[in-house]
Structure 1
Amino acid sequence: MGDVVADSKVDFGARAALYKWPSLANQRRPDRESYQVSEGTLDECISAFMDKPAATRHLYEIRTAAQPPLVTDILSPEHVIELSRLREFL
């Protein structure tokens, strides 16, 4: 993975949107659609996500243009946390 990170440039200025899933008892509602809660750069959306309580982060995802190999078009909570670590490292 080290080589992938070294060779990959992530555009944290890319347009992105933070989405939240409706929930019941802190669980995603599969019968509902997620909705947009904020929009901005990938960097801003990662920051907004990381500001959410850790116990509710699984209800969020970030949507952006894919930047292979590190960024997919829909970023799961685990993926966002990894990108946040990468951002701090860079």
Structure 2
Amino acid sequence: MGVVADSKVDFGARAALHKWPSLANQRRPDREPYQVSEGTLDECISAFMGKPEATRHLYEIHTAPQPPLVTDILSPEHIIELSRLREFL
């Protein structure tokens, strides 16, 4: 069946959306990301997808790992893929 079909993602798992401090729309590597919202993985993905596309690179989601598809810190690209998976399911 493949990895996606065999993998179950718990979109109800606790998660937090974090944002990197930025300067001129670029991440500040000298700063740590801060939490902007908390809820389920599903809610955090929805909050992320509601952000302007031009600023999504400043966000990440922190959650408990769910191998192989979900890591503890999800990059913007990873969040977009999980959003597509969620819509597919």
Q: Which TM-score applies when normalising by structure 2?
A: 0.98
Percent identity over the alignment is 92
Instruction: In structure 1, list runs of 5 or more residues that go unmatched.
Output: none
Per-residue deviation at 1:75?
A: 0.1
**How big is each residue's C-alpha offset from its partner over 1:56-78, in whole Å with a ceiling of 9 and x where there is no partner?**
00000000000000000000000
Per-residue deviation at 1:24?
A: 0.3
Distance of 1:86 and 1:59 partners within structure 2: 22
Per-residue deviation at 1:9?
A: 0.2
Distance of 1:87 and 1:63 partners within structure 2: 17
Partner of 1:36: 35
Query: Alignment length, in residue pairs?
Result: 89
**How big is each residue's C-alpha offset from its partner over 1:36-67, in whole Å with a ceiling of 9 and x where there is no partner?**
00000000000000000000000000000000
After TM superposition, the structure 1 = structure 2 runs for residues 39-50 of structure 1, keeping only pairs within 5 Å, are 39-50=38-49
Per-residue deviation at 1:7?
A: 0.3
Extract structure 1 runs of 4+ deviating beyond 3 A.
none
Per-residue deviation at 1:83?
A: 0.1
Instruction: In structure 2, list runs of 5 or more residues that go unmatched.
Output: none
Distance of 2:29 and 2:56 partners within structure 1: 16
Q: Which TM-score applies when normalising by structure 1?
A: 0.97
Partner of 2:55: 56
Distance of 2:76 and 2:35 partners within structure 1: 15
Partner of 1:66: 65
